Amino acid sequence: MTSTTFEPMNLEAKKQLKSIFGYDNFRDRQEQIIEEILAKKDVIVLMPTGGGKSICFQIPALIFENLTVVISPLISLMKDQVDALKTNGVSAAFFNSSVKEQEKNQIIQDAQSGKLKLLYLSPETLLPAMNTWFNDLNISLVAIDEAHCVSMWGHDFRPEYTQLKVLRTKLADVPFVALTATADKITRKDIETHLGLNSPTTFLSSFDRPNLNLEVRGNVPKQKKIDQILDFIEARPGKSGIIYCLSRKETEEWSQILSDNGVKANYYHAGLTSDQRDKIQTEFINDEIPVICATIAFGMGIDKSNVRWVIHNNLPKNIEGYYQEIGRAGRDSLKSDTLLYYNYRDVKLLSDFARDSEHSTVLLEKLNRMLEYTESTTCRRKILLAYFSEVLPNNCGNCDVCRNPSATFDGTILAQKALSAIKRAEEKAGNNTIIDILRGAKTTEMFSKGYNNLKTFGIGADIGVQQWLFYLTQLKNIGLVEIAYDDNMHLKISPFGEKVLFGKLTIQLANFKEKEKLSKIKEKKQPSTLSPDELLFDRLKLLRRKIAIEDNVPAYVVFSDATLTQMSAEKPITENAMLAIQGIGLQKFNTYGKDFIDLIKLFIKDSGPKISTYDETYELVKKGIWVDDIAKMRNMAVATIYSHLAKLMQEGKSIDFKTYVSDEEFEKIKAVLPQFQDTNTLKPIFEALNGEIDYGIIRMTLTYLEMGK
């Protein structure tokens, strides 16, 4: 099409932008993206969180005559976007597992009759419908959100996304737009290939979020970390923030720590019911709860612009995930803070999970790259942008490295030596091989592959292995060198690196110093004594082996190491808690669950500290276990557990009275109390209530009233 053809479309797009969404001007690249879509071309859109991706397909949806289908893995995002569109007077609906059956037929009818402009679907819902009611839709545009989910190399792979290519074949004349906030080069390639896009135009917006302050702290003892985080939050009163944790147990622990210290907080993880998660999300979005302690599932698709800080309690498993999570802070472009803690346990746990994957080599390398970020002497923003193939010319001045810079030297010649070795090895070598070439190592590989004949062989022999590792990491961090995750981790020279190699640019490198922080994963040393979690892990492995031998199956068929690692960390002792562990379905629970729960209970009993009966109940309460279940676990009467709760309330423990006593029960008990001078004996009160309220609830209510509540 000619530019003349675009003119009315551009005018219409701007009109919709103002009349529907209330904006006067498009943001970076939005207008060009919309032009391409309106010209019925396939498009890939890479924009950081909060960059305005939704507008790119919502405005064409309003201009096109027929329906726009939006595919998203995020139920919360679908609801948020549909609610926002409806508020703006746009006819939209979402169709996923959360929709009641009676509503589904109406949505299908509205979509087929042309009443809807946008229909949001999850891939799991779409695929079964493609040969039924979906065939009767008139579709003008397909938008695939969170498109990085199609790539097994990405941080959030969803197998269902790989089947969406069938949809592209089915709708050959319909434009497709794939959108994501986090995708490195290999993931972008997968998006185009696996979705079957037709010569798509790729729009890559800047990934720079200069408003985010980046800080990393390593190996901080737990109590000191608690004190630091409490001080951090106290310095930002009433500000919304998220603490990301590796395990569900840690989210609950942090929520309790914050609550005990006067910070209004809650926890969020996949072990909660859908209603509970929805309630917590809503309270956070509505600023009713300022702080959420959550696993990484929280925040996906939540459109809350005023998150002022994000803390990572643990090392993230890769830079893509980390970038997406910190991107949930400061979406309104105002100054916001990010703080990352990491330690040896994080590295061990994440590397164990990675090794259990069929893509362990790539996942371990990405984890190492994340670790290199934490230990870097290079501006942190430079590293993040270089990871997404973007060059930041100057240091950002808004990260802990920039505030405490290392001494540097002119590293141009040193970098040219390394880049030349990579080039002469035809970009078919990894870290260790390049270092061997530079140092002139007399290894079998050097001679068998002819590397000993390269001009660069031995030109860096005066520099030690650890120093070369240090400098090569800096070259990656600055963006001169990239890792080809889809090509055996070989090092590739970026366009920026080419300029340095051929003398068009000079660079500064930090002086080498011995690493004082964590070692690379492959170099880590085991502690001399095992922690309680590691002791439990070993016992779980022995039980798994026993069962595997009896059932004549490989041990991993019973449970994977990753499942046992999580089990040993979280120590589930109820059915619900065990089913919340990754890798345990109902069938496996029914087959093996009781044996593992019994072992964990025995381990806790044998190794746990001796605490009072009240504190034992309190520990179970903190884990979210209900009164009836605590009574069964402790072989006590329900009324006894309620008496424990009453005692704990008197001691000032964090017991939410209204969780256990309803408003109706409270009012009924209060109403009969004036009849009695002595309330120490509960039976008369119980009888006055016609036996409708349990003794335990009566005791708890009396204690609550005695405390002057």
Q: Which domains does the chain have, with CATH numbers?
A: 3-204 (3.40.50.300), 212-346+382-401 (3.40.50.300), 406-515 (1.10.10.10), 532-607 (1.10.150.80), 635-706 (no CATH)
Helices and strands: H and E segment counts in the chain? 34, 17
- Residues 323/182, Cβ–Cβ less than 8 Å: yes
Q: What are 523's two structure tokens?
A: 């170099």
How distant, in Å, are the alpha carbons of 419, 429, 453, 480 from that of 460? 12, 16, 15, 18
HEC states along 110-129? HHHHCCCCEEEECHHHHHHH
b/e map 416-428, b = 16+ CB within 10 Å: bbbbbbbbbbeee
CA gap 215, 229 in Å, rounded: 13
What amino acid is encoded at 423 in this protein? K
Mapped onto helix, strand or coil, the DSSP state of residue 503 is coil
Helix 319-326 × helix 360-374 angle, to 10°: 50
The reported pLDDT for the residue numbered 558 is 74
The continuous run of DSSP H or E covering 641 comes out as helix 638-650
d(CA 488, CA 428): 8
The residues facing 291 across adjacent strands are 241, 265
556, containing H or E segment: helix 555-558
The whole-number pLDDT of residue 10 equals 72
pLDDT < 70 stretches in the chain: 1-9, 22, 50, 76, 153-156, 297-303, 514-530, 552-557, 561-562, 583, 585, 587, 608-611, 680, 709
Listed in sequence order, the residues at least 6 apart from 287 whose beta carbon sits closer than 8 Å to its beta carbon are 240, 306
Q: Output the pLDDT for position 446.
A: 93
Cβ neighbours around 285 below 10 Å, total:
16
- The pLDDT of residue 6 is 42
Q: Specify the pLDDT at position 342.
A: 92
Residue with tokens 């709860």: 289
Q: In angstroms, rounded to a whole number, what is the distance separating the alpha carbons of residues 348 and 351?
A: 5
79-126 per-position pLDDT tens digit: 777 877 887 788 999 988 778 888 888 999 999 999 999 999 988 888
- Token duo for residue 247: 């395990």
**pTM of model > 0.85:** no
